[in-house]
């Protein structure tokens, strides 16, 4: 009868881990990493700090899990809006639009583009979104015939990041989209 007591270990563990990640995501987005204490997180999840330190090595490790989950969510949203049968340069522009759309989830830009590099380090974060879907831009540039697409992809990605941040901070998206289009079209000639 009591299905609460009948949960398997793995199921219990998975839901708890997910609850901690969800609570952490919420608070990290609202207050940032430094201003969010582990007591706040576990209180929001309705547990104690023992649960947190059982599932994660430390607070940074939980944050990394939040960032990874967020990166996967972003990649999934972008993939979902990926229209097929476009020219390479159309794919480029459309992928950028999809990125901006995915980044309009409130606070997501600050979490992924400001907090994450500072907390996890630039290289570690780069590895995370390389593991999810960060190389699509590079491949698209290669399609349109750029010789060394790596650095240029990183630069354009940085430009998109900056635009997403500005929009997340409340600025109107129109001028940023226009400037991005200008930049991309100039880059692929």
The C-alpha angle 159, 165, 171, rounded to 5 degrees, equals: 110
Q: Taking each helix axis from N to C terminus, what angle separates 173-187 and 149-168, rounded to the nearest 10 degrees?
A: 170
When asked if residue 10 is in the footprint of DNA (CB under 7 A), the reply is yes
By C-beta, is 2 or 170 nearer to DNA?
A: 2
Tell me the C-alpha distance between 147 and 152, whole Å.
10
Question: What are the tokens at 91?
Answer: 């794919």
Query: Residue 59 binds what, of DNA, a copy of itself, none (CB under 5 to 8 Å, by partner type)?
Result: DNA
On whether the CB atoms of residues 78 and 133 are closer than 8 A, the answer is yes
CB 177 within 8 A of CB 104: no
Report the length, in residues, of the chain. Answer: 189
* Shortest distance in whole angstroms from residue 187 CB to a copy of itself: 5
- Residue in the structure block whose two tokens are 């929001």: 44
| Min dist. Cβ of residue 138 to DNA (A) | 34
**Residue 180 interacts with a copy of itself (CB under 8 A)?**
yes
Query: Using the rule CB under 7 A, is 1 a contact of DNA?
Result: no
**Structure tokens of 65?**
């899990």
Compute the least distance from the CB of residue 23 to DNA, in Å: 12
Q: Nearer Cβ to DNA, position 60 or 181? A: 60
Question: Among the candidate windows 4-12, 71-79, 132-140, 170-178, which touches a copy of itself by CB under 8 A?
Answer: 170-178
In this chain, which of 22, 43, 44, 47 binds DNA, going by CB under 7 A?
Answer: 47
Question: Is 182 near a copy of itself (CB under 8 A)?
Answer: yes
Q: Is 5 in the site for DNA (CB under 7 A)?
A: yes
CB-neighbour burial class of residue 186 (10 A; exposed 0-12, middle 13-18, buried 19+)? exposed
Residues that bind a copy of itself (CB under 8 A): 32-34, 110, 114-115, 117-119, 122-123, 148, 150-152, 154-159, 161-163, 165-166, 169, 175-176, 178-180, 182-183, 185-189
């Amino acid at each position: 009868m009591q299905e609460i007591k009948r949960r398997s270990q793995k199921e219990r563990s998975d839901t708890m881990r997910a609850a901690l990640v969800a609570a952490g995501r919420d608070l990290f987005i609202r207050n940032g990493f430094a201003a969010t204490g582990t007591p706040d997180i576990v209180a929001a999840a309705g547990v104690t700090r023992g649960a947190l330190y059982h599932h994660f090595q430390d607070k940074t490790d939980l944050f990394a899990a939040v960032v990874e989950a967020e990166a996967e969510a972003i990649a999934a949203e972008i993939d979902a809006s990926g229209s097929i049968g476009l020219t390479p340069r159309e794919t480029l522009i459309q992928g950028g639009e999809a990125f901006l759309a995915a980044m309009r989830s409130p606070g997501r830009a600050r979490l992924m583009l400001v907090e994450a590099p500072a907390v996890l380090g630039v290289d570690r974060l780069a590895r995370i979104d390389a593991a999810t879907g960060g190389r699509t831009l590079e491949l698209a540039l290669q399609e349109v015939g750029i010789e060394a697409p790596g650095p240029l992809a990183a630069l354009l990605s940085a430009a998109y990041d900056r635009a997403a941040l500005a929009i997340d901070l409340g600025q109107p998206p129109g001028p940023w989209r226009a400037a991005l289009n200008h930049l991309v079209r100039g880059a692929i000639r």
